[in-house]
Amino acid sequence: MTLDVTSEAAVDWFTGRLRWFSKEFGVDSFKFDAGEVSYLPRTMRTAVPLGNLNRYTQLYANMAATFGPMIEVWGDRFTSHLGSRHDATRRRSSGAC
């Protein structure tokens, strides 16, 4: 399954499932990996056409960022304003929640 981050309904469904999982099982944070376009199937069609393929990574990282400062997200372009993996790891190891 590949998440279409251009579809508000798909993102709402996916984040809703993760929030339920977090609440149900006491999960503090998530690692979001494979947000680069190189992981997308060649035949994938998005709800909103991507004029620039890097837009997928940007939308993926923006979706992941809604889960707070402890997340870890791996992306390739236009995502540095969301913080880095190093920052997330440092916050976790300092005991801050």
- Please name the helix (run of DSSP H) or strand (run of DSSP E) that holds residue 56, with its range, or none: helix 54-65
Tell me the pTM. 0.72
What pLDDT tens digit does each residue of the chain (97 aa) get? 789 999 999 999 999 999 999 999 999 999 888 777 777 788 888 999 988 878 888 898 899 989 988 888 776 555 555 554 434 333 343 344 3
Give the pLDDT of residue 93.
35
pLDDT attached to residue 68: 87
30 vs 68: CA distance, rounded Å: 10
- What are the φ/ψ torsions at residue 40 (nearest 5 degrees)? -75, 140
Give the pLDDT score at 53: 76
Distance between CA atoms of 47 and 77, rounded to whole angstroms?
21
> What was the pLDDT predicted at 47?
95
Q: Establish how many alpha carbons lie within 13 A of residue 23's alpha carbon, considering only the half-sphere containing its beta carbon.
A: 6
Contact present, 42 and 2 (Cβ < 8 Å): no
